[in-house]
Chains A and B, each alone.
Chain A
Amino acid sequence: MNLEDSISFSYAFQGSISISMSLHKTSFCFICSHLTSGQKEGDELRRNSDVMEILRKTRFPRVNGISDESSPQTILDHE
């Protein structure tokens, strides 16, 4: 891996933070994302793939010892 590779790689995807919580019986998910910008050709596709990537990679692993068996593990599991 050389330097140029890593820089272009880092432009390929931005990132996101997701916070999952439940209030009474309702699950909430707050997502803050940084998607690819621009209106040039291909930017839209890249944005969409950013979103897919976020949806795919965001996981909320269940914590042992806490009764959260029913808590959602992915973004789309939320209500």
Chain B
Amino acid sequence: MGTEDIAPARKWLALIRKTLNSLPGTSGECHTNSPLPDPVVELDSDFEGSMRQKATSFFHRRSFQSLSHSMRMDNDMLVPQACLDRRFSVCDRMIFGHSTGDYDQNYRWGSSDDENGDSPVMAQYSPMLYRGSVSMEDRDRQTENSRYCLVASKQMVGIFLTVWVKSNIRDDVRNMKVSCVGRGLMGYLGNKVNLIKFFEEGGLK
């Protein structure tokens, strides 16, 4: 359930990143992706790449910070994706939380009356940006590779929000927090999820 939700979002992210980083007036930055002329193929390869990394980060979710850190060391080309990947893990937590825990509570984890469950995610989320202090050369390289950097992305069932900042002010972004409101369940899939939960709970009274 969660996995089939994430796929379009990841595609969108790849598309947005590609579009932002290949705006006219920036020389040499269109080459962060593969140099193939066919945009579809390009998107797909990009898509697959992040898919692969995503799989690893999901299983090592506890240590995804160090994981993305080490991935950053790996390769120039991996730098934007490591950044992207790190955000994905946060979304995944949310989405998978939906399918396991009490749906309503997880759903409204940002609201004031919610005390448990997902609050640690938020606690983890903010320090991550401080951890994002990359070394000088690392940051330069990032600026060189991509003009815009993904700082936050969150998906609920029917809506998707991403925030991108210019790479050179990325480290000035502080206090990143995400809050979701959803009373009831939204959209088509939301209804289905609701039904599934009903049946899991032992059906209707």
Measuring CB to CB, which residues of chain A are less than 8 angstroms from any residue of chain B? Answer: 1-3, 6-7, 9-24, 27, 30-34, 53-54, 57-61, 63-66, 68, 71
Instruction: Give the Cβ gap from A17 to chain B, nearest Cβ, in Å.
Output: 4
Q: Specify which chain A residues have a CB less than 8 angstroms from the CB of B151 in the assembled complex.
A: 21
Task: Report yes or no: A59 in contact with B159, Cβ–Cβ below 8 A.
Answer: no
Bound together, the chains give a CA A18 to CA B122 distance in angstroms of 13
Contact of B175 among A2, A12, A21, A57 (CB under 8 A): A21
Task: Give the tally of cross-chain contacts (CB within 8 A).
Answer: 139
Q: Specify which chain B residues have a CB less than 8 angstroms from the CB of A34 in the assembled complex.
A: 158-159, 186-187
Task: Report yes or no: A63 in contact with B123, Cβ–Cβ below 8 A.
Answer: yes
With contacts A64-B123, A66-B175 taken as known, whether A14 is within 8 angstroms of B161 at the C-beta atoms is no
Contact of B205 among A2, A13, A17 (CB under 8 A): A2
Bound together, the chains give a CA A1 to CA B205 distance in angstroms of 7
Task: Report yes or no: A18 in contact with B182, Cβ–Cβ below 8 A.
Answer: no
Q: Specify which chain A residues have a CB less than 8 angstroms from the CB of B198 in the assembled complex.
A: 3, 6
With contacts A1-B205, A66-B126 taken as known, whether A59 is within 8 angstroms of B184 at the C-beta atoms is no
With contacts A15-B158, A18-B180 taken as known, whether A58 is within 8 angstroms of B186 at the C-beta atoms is no
Bound together, the chains give a CA A14 to CA B184 distance in angstroms of 7
| Residue B36 at the chain A interface, CB threshold 8 Å | no
Q: How many residues does chain B have at the interface if contact means C-beta atoms less than 8 Å apart?
A: 46
Q: Specify which chain A residues have a CB less than 8 angstroms from the CB of B77 in the assembled complex.
A: none
| Residue B70 at the chain A interface, CB threshold 8 Å | no
Task: Report yes or no: B163 in contact with A58, Cβ–Cβ below 8 A.
Answer: no
| Residue B185 at the chain A interface, CB threshold 8 Å | yes
Contact of A59 among B152, B157, B179, B195 (CB under 8 A): B179
Q: Specify which chain B residues have a CB less than 8 angstroms from the CB of A19 in the assembled complex.
A: 152, 154, 161, 163, 176-179
Task: Report yes or no: A15 in contact with B122, Cβ–Cβ below 8 A.
Answer: no
| One of B10-18, B25-33, B50-58, B105-113 at the interface | B105-113
Bound together, the chains give a CA A10 to CA B123 distance in angstroms of 29
Instruction: Give the Cβ gap from B66 to chain A, nearest Cβ, in Å.
Output: 20
